Amino acid sequence: MKMAASSLSLAFCLPSRRSLSSIPPFRLSPNPFIRKPPSASLSLDALKIATSQPPSFVDCKESGVLPFVKYEGLGNDFIMVDNRDSMEPRVTPEQAMKLCNRNFGVGADGVIFVMPGSNGADYTMRIFNSDGSEPEMCGNGVRCVAKFISELENLQGTQRFRIHTGAGLIVPETQDDGKVKVDMGQPILSAPEIPTKLPANYNGVVQAELTVDGIGWNVTCVSMGNPHCVTFSTKLCETLQVDEIKLEAVGPKFEHHEMFPSRTNTEFVQVFSRSHLKMRVWERGAGATLACGTGACAVVVAAVLEGRAERSCTVDLPGGPLEIEWLEEDNHVYMTGPAEVVFYGYANL
């Protein structure tokens, strides 16, 4: 979807250790959105202006102006919106599509809203994908949510939050090393609940055959609150070389396959050892991304079910590694990884 450059403007400033609510924007000329700050071209004087001009991001209530913070988790990037005063998202799915556009918008894989808590949770998280669809949850996104809340509330040190999502209660915890550990809950292996129309065996849908483009793929299906189709091999190839997979060609065919009534995320996996995996992902509603937290969790669950890996693994993604553990004691999957601020800004919608 194209949008007129003349209707857009952006302000941003670089991240610092100061409270988010105290950081004012740096106003640019009325050009199209800039996806990340070109720090090499900013003068010292410009940076001084960025820390001296009001208003603050959180206090900006002007109609039609959206304060936001750009975050990324292993390159999976999000426009974070402080929505704590309402259960109604501050932008529509159509506006989210425009904001996520990497040529005519801010550029992101999704827009995430931090809302008031419900059902006993501290906060509620909702997300619109770059195609305007709304997924149940996002693993990399929930790590960013934990860091974003800590900044909004000016919290220091280890913090634990109960986040209500479309996938149920998710509990992220910020760590002293700057990473975030997330209790992702129990994996769902029941075919109707994933959902998938593929036939199940005693463990769920494990190593089922799925024909895509005339090729038989061996797939295991897992839900981490959102559906995942994980494949380590085809009928013709026992070991995938994931860097050779043409994601843009095959990914959409998995996503929209008739066996997945709610569409699906798809992970292509290469096994280096029983504790070291590599994956590439085609995300439902976002396409090829640099990382997918729920996908990495689903990959480890699938690898254990297929007897390919232990319950604690490092999963390499294009954007970097995640540490995933599927505990026997409580059947919960735990994900640990980074979440970082890219820049602060506001957009005229």
The predicted pLDDT at position 25 comes to 37
The domain spans of the chain are 5-185+339-348, 191-331
In whole angstroms, give the CA distance from residue 318 to residue 291: 6
Check whether 71 has a pLDDT greater than 80. yes
Q: Write down the pLDDT at residue 346.
A: 86
Whether 5-185+339-348 and 191-331 share one fold: the answer is yes
* pLDDT at residue number 52: 32
Whole-number pLDDT of residue 202: 82
Range scoring the smallest mean pLDDT among 38-52, 65-79, 97-111: 38-52
**CA distances for 283 relative to 1, 220, 294, 337, angstroms:** 19, 16, 10, 19
For 191-331, CATH gives 3.10.310.10
Model confidence at 238, in pLDDT bands (50, 70, 90)? confident
* Omega cis (within 30) before 55: yes
- What mean pLDDT value characterizes the chain? 86
Q: Tell me what pLDDT residue 5 has.
A: 36
Q: Read off the pLDDT band of 10 (50, 70, 90).
A: low
Please compute the mean of the pLDDT values over residues 275-288 and round it to a whole number.
96
Using pLDDT thresholds of 50, 70 and 90, give the confidence band for residue 53.
very low
* Confidence check: pLDDT of 269 > 50: yes
Higher pLDDT, 179 or 13: 179
Position 11 confidence tier, pLDDT thresholds 50, 70, 90? low
The residues, any chain, with a CB within 8 Å of residue 93's CB and separated by 6 or more, are 128, 132, 133, 134
- Give alpha helix (H) positions in the chain: 44-50, 93-100, 139-152, 247-255, 293-305
How sure is the predictor about 56, in pLDDT bands with cuts at 50, 70 and 90? low
| pLDDT tops 90 at residue 77 | yes
Residue 29: what pLDDT? 30
**So what's the pLDDT on residue 349?**
84
> What predicted TM-score, i.e. pTM, was given to this entire model?
0.82
Percent of the residues in the chain that have a pLDDT greater than 70, as a whole number: 82
Tens digits of residue pLDDT in 287-314: 999 999 999 999 999 999 999 999 999 9
Greater confidence (10 vs 79) lies with 79
- pLDDT at res. 65: 87
Distances (CA, A) of 256 to 50, 198, 225, 228, 239: 45, 14, 18, 12, 24
What confidence tens digit (pLDDT) does each residue in 168-198 have? 999 999 999 999 999 999 999 999 999 999 9
Say what the pLDDT of residue 48 is: 29
CA atoms of 18 and 60, how far apart (whole Å): 17
Pick one of 3.10.310.10, 3.90.650.10, 3.40.50.2000, 1.20.1300.10 as the CATH number of 5-185+339-348: 3.10.310.10
Phi-psi region of 285 (alpha: psi -120 to 50; beta: other; left: phi over 0): left
User: How close are the terminal C-alpha atoms of the chain, in Å?
Assistant: 15
Tens digit of each residue's pLDDT (9 = 90 or more) over 101-160: 999 999 999 999 999 999 899 999 999 999 999 999 999 999 999 999 999 999 988 999
**Confidence (pLDDT) at 203:** 86
Mind spelling out the 3-state secondary structure of 234-298? ECCCCCCCHHHCCHHHHHHHHHCCCCCCCCCEEEEEEEEECCEEEEEEEECCCEEECCCHHHHHH
pLDDT higher than 50, residue 7: no
What residues act catalytically? 138, 292
pLDDT in tens, 249-268: 999 999 999 999 999 999 99
Nearest to 130 by CA among 54, 79, 188, 73: 79
In 48-99, DSSP assigns E strands to: 65-73, 76-82
Residue 50 is predicted with a pLDDT of 34
Nearest Cα neighbor of 51 from 31, 27, 23 is 23
Closest by CA to 74, choosing from 267, 226, 331, 292, is 292
Predicted confidence (pLDDT) at residue 19 exceeds the cutoff of 70: no
